[in-house]
Chains A and B, each alone.
Chain A
Amino acid sequence: MTMTRDWLLSERPASRRQARIGQIYRTWLAFRGNGLALFGACIVLALVVVAILAPWLAPHDPLIGDLNHTRLLPPLTEGYWLGTDEQGRDILSRLLHGARITLAVVALVAVIATPVGLLVGTTAGYFGGWVDTVLMRITDIVLAFPKLILALAFVAALGPGIENAIIAISITAWPPYARLARAETLTIRNSDFIAATKLQGASSARIIWKHVVPLCLSSVIVRVTLDMAGIILTAAGLGFLGLGAQPPQPEWGAMIAGGRNFLVDYWWVATMPGLAIFTVSLGFNLLGDGLRDVLDPRGRK
């Protein structure tokens, strides 16, 4: 055990692999010291596990309920621990399957919006001049629209559905990342190590991709993680308004919308998906805070 540890923390790594793994291990050590962040990471990890294993974990069918016997059962009923909804469907099973939709939204938005934001921001920041002006004005225009309203407009144009909701959210999500990446790039582009790379004859694309992006990446990742809570809420909001996931898909926002009609008498129908959204959002926020402490070079000494 101590040997592995020494190997990982060695100040004189003997191979490319050892250097990289050692660096990851050091980051992990710093991250591990933050209890709340670790808790957040556990929640996010649990979401992933639940999403993957949903068909096996769910005790009932999430889409078809028994309208005759199991309508609106309260929580802690045997076999239906979180109760059932107005169509007799088990809420727990729907939540478990809904995790898949939530995870898909989060992952796809991250995969679409992050690279777009990074690319726009680093390009604008690195070249400056008119490139910067054009790209950042476009960014400003997108930023000027309220997120949910713009997403609503896109969904209205593209038609309701979870895929279109993801596209709509991605389109509205990248501008903050572009701004952040641009600000980071502005501080990096005049540094000596970029000048040294220019002096080796490196092309602008190479400098941006290999030297600027890796340095912007960590702060953007932190920002994306912190935004995940908001993205989940936007997706849920679209679902709630009937523009995201369509019935009978067990999307958490849509589930709240469904439960709203009888909130007073059957509180659990809307509360349970609400708690799920709350927990996952909290998890992402805690994780993001922890990542910021570890990854953000400004926070570190």
Chain B
Amino acid sequence: MLKIDGLEVTFSRAGADPVRAVRGVSFEVAQGESYGIVGESGSGKSTVLRAICGLAPTTGGQITLEGTPLPAPRSPAFYRRVQMVFQDPYASLHPRHTVDTVLSEPLAIQGFERREARIEAALTDVGLGPDFRFRYPHQLSGGQRQRVAVARALILEPQILLLDEPTSALDASIQAEVLNLLDRLRAERGLTYVMVSHDLAVISHMCERLLVMQHGQAVEELSREALRARAASTDYTRRLLKASVGYTREDAPA
């Protein structure tokens, strides 16, 4: 459904060397699939997502959605099909807008009908309920904010949801709730996910296939089964796998 072919993203800055954030990354996501991208900070994993939705410049390669190359800038129709949830729920909601304003804005822009009913339904869908409709972000906890962000992304009824570390700013118990929510919504609506995270456990829980990235390049692609079997073919992935267990005292240098 979504095909990324040899994607290059280079940021050119005045008076400095251009930064090649993504260097020739390719992958393909099937309809209804959940695809993970794992990497550490600076690996370019978030930049891939931003390039897909047009927030970062595509300087090479091609992104196609159902065989059609995406226009630059993206068309409004594109945003009805692809939406994104950001990492930090404290930065992704406008501090002076109520939940109601946040949710009615996309409906107004895209000219949707039955707005009242849609807002109420969206809030119920993400487990908040109409009670939350007129609150400001500062009246919400981190987990509740992230639910609002998910509701904002889903209110346009997209087919593909890009998730940029949706739980890394949340407490562990809240993370479980949000992951369950995302899981349920995908099952109910047949959504396609592309999820970025630094946490192998989260990706393994959420995604059927995953891509490991380092320094802007794809290191390797693994299936969930291969990950669980620790069948990593590169050193870097093995290091990530080991680190995800926690601290191990045995191999500390004597």
Contact = CB atoms under 8 A, between A and B. Distances in A.
Interface of A: 11-16, 18-19, 23, 191-193, 195-202, 206, 210-211, 214-215, 297
Interface stretch (B95-103, B227-235, B236-244, B245-253): B95-103
Given A15-B134, A193-B92, A201-B110, 11 more contacts: A11-B135, A19-B135, A191-B92, A192-B87, A196-B149, A196-B152, A199-B84, A200-B110, A200-B156, A210-B105, A215-B96
A214 B139 CA distance: 19
B134 A18 contact: yes
Contacts of B88: 192
B105 A197 contact: yes
A196 B84 contact: yes
Nearest to A203: B109
A23 B95 CA distance: 12
A201 B109 contact: yes
Contacts of B192: none
Interface string B89-119: 0011111101010000110011000000000
Contacts of B110: 200-201
Nearest to A19: B134
A197 B53 CA distance: 12
A11 B139 contact: yes
Contacts of B152: 196
Contact of A211 (B50, B76, B94, B139): B94
Contacts of B156: 200
B11 interface: no
A18 B132 CA distance: 13
B96 A13 contact: no
Contacts of A192: 86-88, 91-92
B27 interface: no
Contacts of B98: 16, 19
Given A192-B86, A199-B53, A13 B94 contact: no
Contact of B132 (A12, A193, A195): A12
B188 interface: no
A192 B109 CA distance: 18
